[in-house]
Amino acid sequence: MAAAYPPPIASTSTAQLEQHIDVETPEQVVLSYTVAGVGSRAAAAIIDALVISAFILSLYLLLLLLAWVGSEPGSKTTPNDVADSWVMAVLSLFVFAVQWGYYVLFEAIWDGQTPGKRKLHIRVVQDGGYSVSFGASAVRNVVRVIDMQPGLFYAVGIISAVLSKSGKRLGDMIAGTFVVQERIDQVLPTVRTAAERNDAADVAAPATAALTADEYDLLGRFLARRAALDADRRARLTEQLIERFHAFLPNEGSSPVSRLVRLYDAERIARGRGVAARGATGAAREHHALVAQSTGRWSSFAAVLSRAQKRGLSQLSEDEVSDFVAQYRDVATDLARLKTASRGRDSDALFYLSRLVAGGHNLLYRQKRLTGRATVRFVAVNVPREIRRSWVYVVAAAACLFVPVGITYRAVTRDPALAESLLPPGMIDRANEGAARARSGNRTYVEIKDFMRPLAASGIIRNNVTVTYVVFAFGITAGIGTVSMLVFNGISIGAALGLYANKGIVGQIGEFVLAHSVFELSAICIAGGGGLLLASALLLPGALTRREALVIKGRRAIRLIAASTLLLIVAGTIEGLISPRTDISVSTKLAIAASCAVVLLAYVLLGGRWMTEASGEEFAYSDERALSSR
């Protein structure tokens, strides 16, 4: 009775349907990563969305419970009146932090994986096969705001990933990352174990296999797929193969398919014993011998690698790590020998071993865990140094913002009717209400009840930080989107100031923005500088390729985004809790603004200068050296 042969796992035909990225390891072995498909990435994103929703719902229920428990017994006010503002403010900031920080945090802690990615056995890695850094993860996830368009449908990201040879969405292109499939199937290529080879005494093992490598693959594909073929096509192909392999087929007396199966079985056993394929010369004759000799070692390393991927190298003992490294070097050497023997020809064994070495390489060359000390250094040293280094781009962004402010202000003060075409109706109504309040001696710019100020502050922080992220991400449009947003914001600010000046209440809006304006406007300019820095990689890449320049400047720009985020958190807090209050004098708000200016100047001009010149050099060019070394 003919044996059934299922399609071989990781077969050459299957591998050809997947995208691969070849990477040369420090051991000078070229290995192939399998790029994660859009389907697995989408499934991982759905799982992550469910996890995020669970986080948010759990926190909301917890805070709501605390609000009810903390309310005073017998009070006429309800929890909604007393505690909901703080509850909603905290929830609002948490939702924002989860939306933007979830992926970055998990990819940093779990080395390129979120819960969804871990479930689907995919991982984010940097170009060169290295583990993803915090900065690279931050870049790819901030640019997610562009990839997810329109709305939350991720059409931009999906189209980008489909068109890219390495499956990269825009965020991956800027960050220099790609997403790989990391599952290592615990099934070896189509060779038999030693026991099976010894038991097959009825099949002779010649010095050279009867079939060439191409003939063997052709016969294997037919036997694997024959059940799916219609009867007529299966009969025609069987007849053709019988005619082609007539000289090598077993004796008559069985069905044609059975004879083909027996031939394939004999060839597979022969290759399992290390016999060379017919027509193979030189190193190619060692291909099957190497596979036969190394099968046990590969299987052992696959088991060790699977445990290490689940537990992490940090959880292994010193002896276990040493053993892992030793086994990795052995299989990496095997891969180099097998590639030489294969002579550029794909095979099941080559595909399997490449996946195995890729998994070991990614595990060994992972980034160090993010520590509190490294975070402090990043904020206190790297960020201010980057602001100084990128001052030209920050100044250019400031010009894109403030020049339209001045031009629009002058135009609106000369032609008051122009304000109605430049500002939304809500802003016009607010100005009219402000003028009415001013006539009664009330200098309030906007009415915000005391208990609503925490919620207002959280909303301002969310909005402003999101805007700066978009300003930065639009740098990928060669700066057109970044410049447009800065100019449009400048026009809006100038028109609003001109409107209030025409109504004689410019001091009203001035008093409101005074305390928080230093940090807020500086943050917008710094984020805009990040977008222009990104654009310069596309427009003026210099000696680098645009891809290389995009990666280097993207990782520089994320430091500017970190600065703008920190500034906006403080600015939003001031704007929500202090700026609307009329019981705080103008002189006090002026003092707050002056203090903010002094702190900001000291941070930018002095931050990191106490470090040695060598440290500064290392900071400035670490990304360039790392990229060029790959």
Give yes or no for residue 173 having a pLDDT over 90: yes
Give the per-residue SS3 of 192-261: CCHHHHHHCCCCCCCCECCCCHHHHHHHHHHHHHHHHCCHHHHHHHHHHHHHHCHHHCCCCCCCHHHHHH
Range of weakest confidence among 51-60, 207-216, 371-380, 601-610: 207-216
* Residue 24 or 561, more confident: 561
- Kindly indicate the confidence band of residue 189, based on its pLDDT and cuts at 50, 70 and 90: very low
Please give the structure tokens belonging to residue 221.
């594909």
* Residue 467 or 274, more confident: 467
**Which pLDDT score is estimated for 11?**
36
**Which pLDDT score is estimated for 195?**
42
Please check whether residue 185 is in contact with residue 34, taking contact to mean a CB–CB distance below 8 angstroms: no
**Which pLDDT score is estimated for 594?**
95
Position 382: which residue type? N
The arithmetic mean of pLDDT across residues 146-160, rounded, is 85
Backbone angles phi and psi of 180, in degrees to 5: -115, 155
Neighbours of 312 (CB within 10 A): 13
- Kindly indicate the confidence band of residue 83, based on its pLDDT and cuts at 50, 70 and 90: low
Coil, strand or helix at 34: strand
Backbone angles phi and psi of 219, in degrees to 5: -65, -40
* Residue 203 or 344, more confident: 344
Give yes or no for residue 204 having a pLDDT over 70: no
- What single-letter DSSP state applies at residue 381? I
**Which pLDDT score is estimated for 482?**
96
Position 242: which residue type? I
The arithmetic mean of pLDDT across residues 245-251, rounded, is 78
**Which pLDDT score is estimated for 29?**
73
- Kindly indicate the confidence band of residue 34, based on its pLDDT and cuts at 50, 70 and 90: confident
- Kindly indicate the confidence band of residue 2, based on its pLDDT and cuts at 50, 70 and 90: very low
Range of weakest confidence among 273-282, 293-302, 462-471, 559-568: 273-282
The arithmetic mean of pLDDT across residues 154-160, rounded, is 88
Question: What distance in Å separates the CA atoms of residue 171 and residue 141, rounded to the nearest whole number?
Answer: 7
pLDDT averaged over every residue in the chain: 80
Give yes or no for residue 392 having a pLDDT over 90: yes
Give yes or no for residue 203 having a pLDDT over 80: no
- Kindly indicate the confidence band of residue 77, based on its pLDDT and cuts at 50, 70 and 90: very low
- Kindly indicate the confidence band of residue 206, based on its pLDDT and cuts at 50, 70 and 90: low
Give yes or no for residue 367 having a pLDDT over 90: no
pTM of the model: 0.77
**Which pLDDT score is estimated for 210?**
74
The arithmetic mean of pLDDT across residues 269-286, rounded, is 65
**Which pLDDT score is estimated for 211?**
78
The answer for residues whose C-beta is within 8 angstroms of residue 600's C-beta and 6 or more apart is: 518, 519, 522, 567
Question: What distance in Å separates the CA atoms of residue 461 and residue 564, rounded to the nearest whole number?
Answer: 11
Range of weakest confidence among 142-156, 274-288, 420-434, 595-609: 274-288
**Which pLDDT score is estimated for 73?**
54
Question: What distance in Å separates the CA atoms of residue 582 and residue 312, rounded to the nearest whole number?
Answer: 56
Please give the structure tokens belonging to residue 406.
């001045």
Round to the nearest angstrom and report the end-to-end CA distance of the chain: 54
CA atoms within 13 A on the CB side of 297: 19
- Kindly indicate the confidence band of residue 71, based on its pLDDT and cuts at 50, 70 and 90: low
Backbone angles phi and psi of 22, in degrees to 5: -90, 135
Give yes or no for residue 170 having a pLDDT over 70: yes
Backbone angles phi and psi of 34, in degrees to 5: -90, 120
* Residue 52 or 317, more confident: 52
**Which pLDDT score is estimated for 185?**
52
Give yes or no for residue 406 having a pLDDT over 90: yes
Neighbours of 4 (CB within 10 A): 10
Q: Which residues of 345-376 are buried (b: 16+ CB within 10 A; e: fewer)?
A: ebbbbbbbbbbbbbbbbbbbebbeeeeeeeee
Range of weakest confidence among 178-182, 307-311, 411-415, 481-485: 307-311
Range of weakest confidence among 132-141, 201-210, 303-312, 391-400: 201-210
Question: What distance in Å separates the CA atoms of residue 251 and residue 235, rounded to the nearest whole number?
Answer: 20
* Residue 326 or 128, more confident: 326
Coil, strand or helix at 33: strand
**Which pLDDT score is estimated for 289?**
72
β-strand 20-24 against 122-126: which pairing, if any? unpaired
The arithmetic mean of pLDDT across residues 433-452, rounded, is 77
- What single-letter DSSP state applies at residue 154? -
pLDDT per position as a tens digit, 88-115: 777 788 888 888 899 998 988 888 889 9
Coil, strand or helix at 32: strand
Coil, strand or helix at 503: coil
**DSSP class per residue in 102-153:** HHHHHHHHTTS--HHHHHTTEEEEETTTEEPPHHHHHHHHHTHHHHTTTTTS
Percentage of the chain lying above the pLDDT 90 cut: 30
